[in-house]
Structure 1
Amino acid sequence: MSEDENPKAVPVETVLQASKAMLQKQLYAIFTTPANGLGPVFAMMEEHLEFQVGLEKQGVLFAAGPMWTDDGQSWEGEGLVIIRAASREAAIAIAEQDPMHRSGARIFRVRPWLINEGAVTVRLDYSSQTFSIA
C-alpha cells in the first residue's frame, strides 16, 4: 500500500497477517440499546442479569456491563456484552435469547471483535485466601 493510499476498509486477512504473532482470539461484541426508554429495561433487569450469569457459568460470557454517557455521569440504558461463540450467527442466536431482547426492551447489534493485545492481572494472597483483579 502506498503512503498516499488511505483505505476506509481492508480485508480481514490483511489485518490477520499484520498481527499474526499476536493472540488473534475471535470474540463477539453485542451492543445493546433501549428500544422504548428505560422503564422496560428496568422491568427486565433481574431476568437479564440471571441470563448473563448463566452465560458466565457456561463459559460463554467474557465480559459485560453498562456503558455510561461520554461524561461518565449517567446511564442511558446502553450495554456491552462480549461473548465467545463459534460464529457471528451463533452470537446473534445467543443475543436473541437475552430476556432484554426477547421482550423488546432493548435492540442489539453484533460485531466480531479480535483480541490481539492486553493483559489480565490476578493477585492471590495465600495467607488471607483473598484475590483481586487489577
Structure 2
Amino acid sequence: MTDAPTALPVAAVIEASRQMLQKQLYAIFTTPVAGLGPVLAQMEDHLAFQVALERDGILFAAGPMWSDDERDWHGEGLVVVRAGSRAEAEAIAVRDPMHASGARTFRVRPWMINEGTMTVRLDLSSQRFVVV
C-alpha cells in the first residue's frame, strides 16, 4: 500500500485542472488583534476602503466570518482580491485601515478558482439586480 502524498507541486495541480477556469485570486484572512473595540473603531474607514477596491475592480468578494455555530461574530473577515502576485495582494491588505491601524492582523493565501457558478438576475424594467 502506498501512502498518498501530503503535498503536490502547483504545476501538477494546474496541469490536472487545465480544462477549468484557473482564475488566480488571493484570499486575505483578517483577524482581530485586541478584541472588537478597535475593529469597530475602524469599521467606517475599512468599509470605505473596501468600496474603493470594489470600484477599482480589485475586490472580488469580502465580508464577515461568523463563528462555527453561526451565532456570533468575533471580528474576523475574509477579503478576496484580484492581484498579480501574493506580494501585490499583501500590499493591498497592508493599506486596509483595519491592518494599518493594528486592529486586525492578516494572512494572504493564493486561491485558484476552478469550479463554481455565479448567477446574476437583471430586471431591466426596474433596473434591479440580484446575485443568486
Pairwise TM-score range, normalised by the shorter structure: over 0.9
Counterpart residue type for residue 100 of structure 1: M
Instruction: Tell me, in whole angstroms, the C-alpha distance in 1 between the residues paired with 2:121 and 2:101.
Output: 40
Percent identity between matched residues is 66
What runs of 5+ residues in structure 1 fail to find an aligned partner?
Answer: none
Instruction: Tell me, in whole angstroms, the C-alpha distance in 1 between the residues paired with 2:124 and 2:51.
Output: 27
Residue-by-residue CA offset, 1:43-69 (whole Å, 9 max, x unaligned): 000000000000000000000000000
1:55 to 49, 53, 64: 53
2:78 to 73, 77, 80: 80
Corresponding pairs, count: 132
Q: How does 1:38-49 map to 2 (within 5 A)?
A: 38-49=36-47
Counterpart residue type for residue 21 of structure 1: Q
Counterpart residue type for residue 32 of structure 2: P
TM-score by length of 2: 0.97
> What value does the CA root-mean-square deviation take over the aligned residues?
1.0
What runs of 5+ residues in structure 2 fail to find an aligned partner?
Answer: none
Q: How does 1:1-134 map to 2 (within 5 A)?
A: 4-134=2-132
> Once structures 1 and 2 are overlaid, which stretch shifts more, 83-92 or 3-12?
3-12
TM-score by length of 1: 0.95
Structure 1 stretches of at least 4 aligned residues deviating more than 4 Å after TM superposition = none
Instruction: Tell me, in whole angstroms, the C-alpha distance in 2 between the residues paired with 1:53 and 1:124.
Output: 21
